[in-house]
Chains A and B, each alone.
Chain A
Amino acid sequence: MRMWIYILRRLILLVPVVIGVMTITFVLISALPTSTRLASQFGTAPQRTPWIYNPTEPCPGSANHQCTNPTYYHYLDKAGLNKPIPYQWGLYIVNSFSLNWGTVGNGSSAGYYFQAAQGQQVTTVLGWFLPYTLELAALSLAIILLIALPLGNLAAVNRNRPVDQSARILSFSGYALPGFLLSSLALMGAVIAFGSGTGFNGHPPWCPTGETTFYEFSYSWPAQHCYGLIGNSGYPDWLTAGYISHPTGFPTIDALYHGQTWLALDTVLRIIIPAIVIAFASIATLLRFVRNSMLEVMNLDFVRTARAEGIPEQTVIKRHAGRNSLNVTITVLGLTFAAFIGGFPIIEDVFHLSGVGLLLALSVQSTKGGIDFGLVFGATLLFTFIVVIANIIVDVLYAYLDPRVRLG
């Protein structure tokens, strides 16, 4: 019962934080030129007829009035941009909560590479891509917990021994090397390790016509020609345009749902390397904290008592001291979750995984048009929500593991 009250309190405290984040994005959106704001909201930018300052002819090409495009004012009215700022702010908050985040334009790299997204609602498009990111995040979190906890404990137990030193080097390199460097090296390593001559590059069961190693280890799905669809020459019906999968949206689950076991295996295979690379940076941070907290706990009275009782050393480390490092892991994970999420655009860009991060990376590029502000702000809100919800989960877990928190 106490637990539910605690969770409810945390959820109520969440509201001002979310509204604050929305206020910050609102301030930033307000700094945009009007035409850009309209474009991010409606997908098209109705232009006011350019008005050139010339004393002799105030309104070139027309009479001395009616310089502007009527639809411009129509959209201006529709977006509420001719209303006072507090009203606009309220409208923005309401729109954000009702998931009306604007429309994807067709003038950015995101619209260029994902044609099906053009003109769609931002929330719809984010909904297509979010499952890929969640699957990747789940896998990398599992890797983090599986590696950081035992390794941290091991380093603490073998203090200043070779295990500890190598854990320290691992921690340093995860901290000092940028994600784009690591991920590119990992992709290159995979290409070299599994490249031609290693027997891997032939004809795997899921792609009878074959795929090069580079494509086998990037992209979320196998190439079009792998599905064995004759005549249709494309993706199966449940995989629209190669990235919108049905019914759940999660690639592995959908492949299993449609009975494609090999394909499901392949979707996991494609995200193993990126998940390891993402996990690496978080492991670097976690290792230190786990090691330090273990060192502290190992000197406490109850550990000494347990030892004095004659409990085997392994049990003392696992049951008595090790439980404590789980607390620390969860706290540090919660604190660094924003940085963890911030690493996704890079990884998904390098490995061409069709997640929200890639969408964001493409929407800020100006190679195929301008910046898609609808997507940029949508992705920012989404990432912020994910971080906030993750923090709540961390708090609840922490309260569950440490009863003192709930009582305090």
Chain B
Amino acid sequence: MFFVIVAVYAISQPLPYYAMESYCGTNNSNPTVWETQNNTNDAPEGLPNGAYAYHILPVNGFTPSPTNGSFRIAGTAVIVFIHFSKAPTTIAPPSSLLSPAISGSYDVRFIETGLPPQTDWQVAVNYTSPNLCITGSQQVCTYPAGSAVPGPGCYQTPAGNPSDIAPTLNLAKFSTGPLPLGSLTLNPATSSGFFSIYHGLLRGSDWSLLISTAIVGGGAIVGLVVGAISGFYGGVVDEALMRLVDIFLSIPQILFVIVVIAVITEGNQQVIGLNPPDTHIFLLIMGFLVTWWPFYARVVRGQVLVVREQKYVEAARAAGAGRGRIIRRHIIPNSVYPVFIQMSLDVGTIPLLIGVLIYLGFSLFTSPYFPEWGAISANSVTQLQLFLDTCTQPATGCVIPWWQILFPGLVLFFFAISVNFLSDGLRDALDPRLRR
């Protein structure tokens, strides 16, 4: 029930696209994305329906360059023009640009930004949700015109607040304002781009809960089905499924997730037609899920082996119930509670694993400002490493930024502890032997 409530809550929330600034923001299209588009190595010789191709057309007065034009990705052609001008004006793109470079239907979008131009027209990556960058919604993390500091959607320290200073834990202020949890400089070299730990942790609860519950819930469903089938039928089916479980259990989880995301993002940025931040999160969830279900399958199988020998299963069989009915009505309900316990234990560890990925320098999310508990914690620890590199003589007056470590660490700790208590409660509530 708890997970249902959490999942419903998380899904009902509007997903904040904090990670959009690299797509809507500063200077040009995402370099990795562009590289992928530029890579025509794998295009078949005959092309037109091929995955990667772009057509450069001369634009009024400009020499053709890879930064303007149109392109087509995996069958859906989307053309995005970004117009850079100092004053926000609406200029229609030249008609030559609009002449169909590729036969078929495609979508044309225009974006006006106020940044100083490098070239007048630039092609951005394609994304299918309209108006994400154009409307200045609170949800969007963008850079205001001519500024290197991200806008209000990013969880940066509010203007006027002291940044990169130890928080003052003034209890009297709790009722009037946000918790002063201090802030974290993301780029100490330029001392720009600092963010508020409080806001980040607050907004991170959405993402962390969504990702954790999706991974654990999905893994539990797959594991439950596989484990029930394997335990109930036994014999060759059991042997084959358990070998499969062995295979997946012997690949270290973190490595598998790294490999999956690296491979798929290297090959094709737009895997399933989602927006770039969504694609990464989807891949993250799927990668974890693939390595997560075998644990549950093993747990369920062990339980099913016990349950299937019980008298009530025999009675059901004697009463003429089919195999499917026995599995659905008798086996699964009676072997599900260890999974609930294991699930609630596992939910707490997923933000830690995400933090590990971020800490390894693996660009999991498209933005360093992505509000996820593990990511925030990993960013803080990276800062501590920089501190250790630059300040090797702490006795002579370096201030250790303790708050950058403490508060994200506390959030992770209390999250894990609370789901741990939840698992204890679930054990008491669900185990029929203890309930009696």
Contact = CB atoms under 8 A, between A and B. Distances in A.
A175 B53 contact: no
B263 interface: yes
Contacts, number: 191
A36 B356 CA distance: 25
B98 interface: no
Interface string A46-68: 01101111100000000000000
B244 A32 contact: no
B360 interface: yes
A16 B42 CA distance: 33
B392 interface: yes
A214 B247 contact: no
Contact of A178 (B243, B263, B361, B377): B377
A212 B396 CA distance: 14
A179 B42 CA distance: 40
Given A48-B41, A178-B374, A366-B363, A338 B388 contact: no
B250 A17 contact: yes
Contacts of B360: 345-346, 349, 361, 364-365
Interface in A22-74: 24-25, 28-29, 31-36, 47-48, 50-54
B359 A180 contact: yes
Given A17-B247, A33-B39, A47-B41, A175 B377 contact: no
A180 B357 CA distance: 10
Interface size class of A (residues with CB under 8 A): 35 or more
Contacts of A342: 252-255
Contact of A383 (B56, B252, B361, B385): B252
A180 B378 contact: yes
B43 interface: yes
B252 A341 contact: yes
Main secondary structure of the interface of A (DSSP, over half): helix
Given A31-B264, A31-B267, A180-B359, A338 B251 contact: yes
A128 interface: no
A100 interface: no
B276 to A, nearest CB: 16
Contacts of B394: 191-192, 195
Interface in A147-193: 172-173, 175-181, 184-185, 187-188, 191-192
Contact of B355 (A29, A180, A365): A180
A175 B243 CA distance: 29
B79 to A, nearest CB: 14
A184 B389 CA distance: 12
A330 interface: no
Contacts of B48: 53
Interface centre among B247, B249, B388 (most CB of A within 10 A): B247
B342 interface: no
Contacts of A212: 392
Contacts of B262: 364, 371, 373, 376
Closest 6 CB pairs of A and B: A176-B416, A20-B247, A342-B252, A365-B361, A178-B352, A53-B53
25 contacts: A36-B266, A48-B41, A50-B39, A51-B47, A52-B54, A53-B102, A175-B416, A176-B415, A176-B416, A176-B420, A177-B412, A178-B355, A179-B356, A181-B409, A192-B394, A195-B393, A196-B395, A214-B389, A338-B251, A338-B252, A338-B253, A365-B361, A380-B255, A380-B256, A384-B252
Given A32-B266, A176-B412, A181-B381, 10 more contacts: A28-B263, A109-B361, A176-B413, A176-B416, A177-B352, A177-B413, A179-B352, A184-B388, A196-B395, A212-B392
Interface of B: 38-43, 45, 47-48, 53-56, 102, 243-244, 246-256, 258-260, 262-264, 266-267, 348-349, 352, 355-356, 359-363, 374, 377-378, 381, 384-385, 388-389, 392-396, 400, 405, 409, 412-413, 415-417, 420
